[in-house]
Chain A
């Protein structure tokens, strides 16, 4: 017995505002994108005939296809880096660090930037990456290079560096959560039975944290796939991923093309999430 009677009409009515809000502002707009991407003709009207022309024109352009591939490549790269880094950090904070006070301090230092602006944090990388930037000054000071390296700002390397700093927390957070749910007795039992530390990790700890790893990877994947702000901030106008293409078409008033790219983006992301959901049950994390 609680303040809500199970299955009562009240519980339906309480769910209505949130459900209506999400339907009207997320589901309907997404379906609209799908519809608009098939519009033919020139006018922006619901009377437009439906065709595959927009898709055919998109897929017949090799440059756009290359963009799809490089977006996937960037997502895979970030998933690999943040996955490894995030797991190492989560494992250290939860398992290896003995002092509770240090754990809290490091954890806060790790999490607090999440509550500040991603945009500002991306901009903060600009003074680091330029030809006269901090990284080049440090390299020259250390005598590692005599002339500044121009490869950081306005390059994919610089974008990747910033994205790693932005998204590692997403990969680590769910792992921290899963590691915390593992009772220490499990480890001890395995150790007593003469398993080596690596075997304990491989056969016991890692499988138990797998849902966290997968959720983290999904979050990083979704964020990198749709990231256009970091790319625009650090890449200037020299680099683009699928997200930037949506924006470019939108600003050029080519709404149907923008919709096509948006739909492709959505399909790629849904495929990624569906793949992940086959591995783990997301609801185990949420509730």
Chain B
């Protein structure tokens, strides 16, 4: 008797349930969106909060410690940074890191454009060449730095930031520039070159007058990789820099000695410096792309 009633009650319920389920898809999809959105925002907070805290704490008062409370607001730690003693003077390391990054940027741009052009030529063994360059990204800095330091030791070459460190930095920045240029040439319309060649321009002239101006925004991207990756590089520098430190090495040495808000001040300064570099490169990228687009009829 009861079984019958249950069966009767279930039968009409089946039809509405299907309707409910179809509605469920849309709500469920929306719930997923909200959940994933929540995760994304929380992660962004998680990623940015330490950086912002570092910036905030660098402005704490002279008696401020390495965490909250700040004990007042001042530029004390930035002044300490500026008047630094020889022991923790960050200005020479900053100058070295900047020059090194510029040199790496320029080298990366030239070698990456050449390498990408070479791969466009589809020479025999270009697959192997691709993997050889990719090795620079895959091989960890600690191995490259350590191995190169051993090699220099065997050859009796003195380690220095502007020679040995430069060589290892480029092995790290070049692959990124190369991949950037490959991606750029992938989207490049080769018919433009054909037109120039058909009109009698030499290959070199075509490259200089047609190809290069069009891929210039990508070249800026490769340059940015070259600059920022070298400027922030730590593991390769650690083994190959010698006595005159670059900025990340000086920061790490200071952390080993003593953690003070001064370290936060230098951290904030170099982070701001990175942002400025990104800004300049992005602006140049934007201007160049506008110029290229403006030429199109």
Contacts and interface: CB of A to CB of B under 8 A. Distances in A.
A275 interface: no
A269 B194 CA distance: 44
Contacts of B112: 18
A17 B111 contact: yes
A63 interface: no
Residue from A6, A22, A168, A247 having most chain B Cβ neighbours under 10 A:
A22
A115 B37 contact: no
B255 interface: yes
B122 A7 contact: yes
Nearest to A9: B123
A115 B36 contact: no
A287 to B, nearest CB: 6
A205 interface: no
Interface in B36-57: 36-37, 39-40, 43-44, 46-51, 53-54, 57
Size class of the B contact interface (CB-based, 8 Å):
35 or more
Interface stretch (B9-17, B88-96, B142-150): B142-150
A15 B119 contact: yes
Interface string A115-157: 1111111011111101011100100000000000000000000
A250 B118 contact: no
Residue from B117, B170, B194, B259 having most chain A Cβ neighbours under 10 A:
B117
B186 interface: yes
Contacts of B270: 116-117, 120
B242 interface: no
Interface in A72-128: 85, 88-89, 91-93, 96-97, 106, 109-110, 112-113, 115-121, 123-128
Given A97-B37, A127-B54, A286-B179, A119 B136 contact: no
Nearest to A228: B142
B144 A6 contact: no
Interface string A232-247: 1100000000010011
Contacts of A5: 121, 203
Contact of A134 (B53, B139, B228, B248): B53
B211 A3 contact: yes
Contact of A287 (B28, B186, B190): B186
Size class of the A contact interface (CB-based, 8 Å):
35 or more
A240 to B, nearest CB: 13
B206 A3 contact: yes
Given A116-B275, A259-B150, A282-B134, A247 B142 contact: yes
B285 interface: no
A118 B115 CA distance: 28
A1 interface: yes
A179 interface: no
Contacts of B49: 128
Contact of A127 (B53, B129, B182): B53
B73 interface: no
16 contacts: A6-B121, A10-B121, A18-B115, A18-B178, A29-B143, A29-B147, A97-B37, A109-B44, A110-B47, A113-B48, A116-B270, A116-B275, A120-B251, A168-B43, A282-B134, A286-B183
Interface of A: 1-8, 10-12, 14-15, 17-19, 21-30, 32-33, 36, 44, 46, 85, 88-89, 91-93, 96-97, 106, 109-110, 112-113, 115-121, 123-128, 130, 132-134, 137, 164-165, 168, 196-197, 222-223, 225-226, 228-229, 232-233, 243, 246-247, 250, 255, 258-259, 262, 265-266, 269, 273, 282-283, 286-287
Interface of B: 25, 28-29, 32-33, 36-37, 39-40, 43-44, 46-51, 53-54, 57, 65-68, 111-112, 114-115, 117-124, 126-127, 129-130, 132-136, 138-144, 146-148, 150-151, 153-154, 167-168, 170-171, 174, 178-179, 182-183, 186, 190, 193-194, 197, 203-204, 206-207, 211, 224, 228, 231-232, 234-235, 238-239, 248, 251-252, 255, 259, 263-264, 267, 270-271, 274-275, 277-278
